[in-house]
Amino acid sequence: MRIWGKLWKNNHLLQDIVITDDSQDTRTHKVFNALYQICMAFDLEKPIWLESNVREFKKSARTFFRQDSFIEKVDFDYLEIQVIKE
């Protein structure tokens, strides 16, 4: 599985990273592990999965974490994660 993490501000891509996970873990664990690695690479706290994030991700294998998903103030508009290869 490959997951693409992107930080956006004012419709400009600030940073991106692709995480590859070829383990035998479940899809859910792979997504959570990739999100953790993305946050470590971008020096962010892990966001909270809101119900809207869960619905978005189930529907399109993509979701956006905005300020309301973070406890601390963030200096970007949103963090996007997207599965690009299962």
- pLDDT tens-place string over residues 1-19: 999 999 999 999 999 999 9
- pLDDT tens-place string over residues 30-84: 999 999 999 999 999 999 999 999 999 999 999 999 999 999 999 999 999 999 9
At residue 43, the pLDDT reads 95
Helix residue ranges, H only, 18-75: 27-41, 51-60
At residue 3, the pLDDT reads 97
- Report the b/e string of 39-62 with b at 16+ CB within 10 A: beebebeebeeeeebeeebeeeee
